[in-house]
Structure 1
């Protein structure tokens, strides 16, 4: 049975070898877990382990609870929802008055930073919190969080990362001036409707500039749909003309949009999403920014089940720093290294 380390009890026994995010062996199959061993798991930042089923405990129910509802979820879900609600209020304020207040932005966004910055598994976190409701506001919250994490991974200071997260949080504020019927339209937008939606970048820049003056957030609102090959909008900037933070928010924006449950699209498989980002890094998205994002997201797949194209189901136990999408997988008692067995591919990742 698979269980979160916070739910381990003294005397639990590992049913498989345990590795950290760097692929290093931490504890062996059969190890009895007590304070010393559990502490070691914490030190290696391991989230989940496989243990021998406990007596008189329904394995299937316990396994589902452990894999789908981490212990932190009940605590952070209200904070996330408060941020979504706060974002909606910011959009309403901007729609009615053409301005927002910086203290409202800080009050809404800072609790996310304070409560989420220690959560390593960004992959599971966003999927578990994501719903089909309030897409525009959830998307803004997610992009803010992702931009904060990505800025940290790119070695920005904590203060800078928070400012970048706030800029990501506000990147779509201009959509408050786009008709909801167009934003939530189930069918493909007409060319005229798409041109209207594209104006949200200009509207957002104006709202933020009127609120705070020319600022990082205003630049990001204007540039987050620009692309390094000059195919973006509204000004078809080349990569050399884009602000570095706009490149961070562009990557965060694309990732969040592709994993979301929108009215007109199904959620894509996460490995597919990251592969698509990788493809875009050679044309539309900044390579260094995108590859840093992928490099830090991929280790979050360690411990997750995958289905191979052969139909076999296994568990990712190690990822490679250069071969992003070819992990080491355990299938029953054997190991398959996809970086060596090039004819095999991961078909699906179970989250």
Structure 2
């Protein structure tokens, strides 16, 4: 056992499924929970059927050694995903209630606002003098990363807030933050996380050379317009080289429209020929775009966006990175607007470890979709005498459904 298991941290081992036994507590899979028959994300293996299902679906699973009923030796071994920076947590904090959400948002918002303002001014300055001050942006990304490390949930929440009228700079800001949260989730080093954040900010810089009427066109682009649009990756590379950014950031911007099947642009590279950061930015770019309001495309819910990413695995998007991203976001990310089985409308304000299908929510519309006094509830605690859930999430809703905008709700939390 010890020779085959990999130590992830003091309480977690990664083991091949052939070594899985009843009595072990599975806290994580090597694939997303979404699409598996396991409703509880984290459970004790008790039956032969559970054992066989896991062995059929997975190649390896993560075991919580403290919650397992069998004795497990722990031994140092290789690191999880590239190199591990010891100050970064492997998992996003999940047990967040309303007051913790409010406190976290109040701490995170100044950093987010300052970074967003700097990004907008940097883009405006770039249109004038064709140069970005790399050191200034690097310092601001470092500030954002520190905020993510101390309050991942609040910073993740802010990536869900949409203004509906400032897409370009807001999109870059959100992709940058998602890239750093992803890096934290996967245990990348601090320098790698900062580089991912900078790549997220600057990957579409070349679009400053594309006419605004083309960027905002609602109809399908003509072939000549598509050709012009695709030139933005070359302009991004040129401007980033001119401004002195690292090769990894430059390549992320230049190659982020490449696809695993080789049908992307600008070079038609396939699979792992595309740099890692470019493969990641492609996923985050598509995800944030799909859940945003754009003049030429309909907004999707988080579930719809994740489903599109999953269906594009191996063809449009890197399979391994998509799986990691879905695991990171969870089923109902904080800040998601949902309809409950009661007909009420709520905002997800936190998760429950081991039961992400039953999040913590704050009800703000009654069953008739009328405004009602806010009522935080923990869906995991809403059970009948036999322990079965009595309230569940019925479906995700678009931001703005029934007059519920996350931006307005977030503001009410901050001033309430």
TM-score (norm 2): 0.59
Alignment partner, residue 212 of structure 1: 244
Q: Which of 256, 260, 271 is 2:303 aligned to?
A: 271
| 3-state SS of paired residue (1:160) | helix
Superposition deviation, residue 112 in structure 1: 1.8
| 3-state SS of paired residue (2:330) | helix
Instruction: Say if 1:132 and 1:306 are closer, same or farther in 2 by CA, change over 3 A.
Output: closer
Show the 5 A alignment for 1:14-93.
22=42, 45-48=94-97, 70-93=102-125
Cα shift readout 1:293-324 (whole Å, capped 9, x = no counterpart) = 11011066489775479979899976879xxx
Contact 2:261 2:314 in 1 (8 A): no
| 3-state SS of paired residue (1:347) | strand
Show the 5 A alignment for 1:203-242.
203-212=235-244, 215-242=247-274
Superposition deviation, residue 174 in structure 1: 0.7
| 3-state SS of paired residue (1:237) | coil
Bigger CA drift: 274-283 or 258-267? 258-267
Instruction: Say if 1:111 and 1:123 are closer, same or farther in 2 by CA, change over 3 A.
Output: closer
Cα shift readout 1:187-239 (whole Å, capped 9, x = no counterpart) = 44333223222111110001111221661111011011111111211111111
User: Distance in 2 between the 1:187 and 1:123 partners?
Assistant: 32
Contact 1:92 1:176 in 2 (8 A): no
Alignment partner, residue 287 of structure 1: 319
Alignment partner, residue 160 of structure 2: 127
| 3-state SS of paired residue (1:71) | helix
Alignment partner, residue 383 of structure 2: 333
User: Distance in 2 between the 1:125 and 1:256 partners?
Assistant: 12
Q: Flag structure 1 segments of 5+ consecutive residues without an equivalent.
A: 1-19, 25-43, 50-65, 338-343
Superposition deviation, residue 247 in structure 1: 1.1
Alignment partner, residue 409 of structure 2: none
Cα shift readout 1:299-350 (whole Å, capped 9, x = no counterpart) = 66489775479979899976879xxxx946859535469xxxxxx9953258
Instruction: Say if 1:320 and 1:277 are closer, same or farther in 2 by CA, change over 3 A.
Output: farther
Show the 5 A alignment for 1:160-179.
160-179=192-211
Cα shift readout 1:106-143 (whole Å, capped 9, x = no counterpart) = 13323222223333336533123x21132111111111
Superposition deviation, residue 241 in structure 1: 1.1
| 3-state SS of paired residue (1:70) | helix
Contact 1:21 1:302 in 2 (8 A): no
User: Distance in 2 between the 1:232 and 1:300 partners?
Assistant: 31
Residue 112 of structure 1 pairs with residue 135 of structure 2: no
| 3-state SS of paired residue (2:295) | coil
Alignment partner, residue 37 of structure 1: none
Instruction: Say if 1:302 and 1:209 are closer, same or farther in 2 by CA, change over 3 A.
Output: closer
Q: Flag structure 2 segments of 5+ consecutive residues without an equivalent.
A: 1-39, 45-92, 360-378, 399-405, 407-416
Superposition deviation, residue 289 in structure 1: 0.9
Which structure's residues are more often helix, by fraction?
1
User: Distance in 2 between the 1:263 and 1:71 partners?
Assistant: 35
Alignment partner, residue 224 of structure 2: 192
Instruction: Say if 1:347 and 1:88 are closer, same or farther in 2 by CA, change over 3 A.
Output: same
Cα shift readout 1:228-263 (whole Å, capped 9, x = no counterpart) = 111211111111210111111111111111122223
Bigger CA drift: 251-260 or 286-295? 251-260
Q: Which of 396, 402, 408 is 1:348 aligned to?
A: 396
Q: Across the two proteins, how many residue pairs are aligned to each other? A: 285
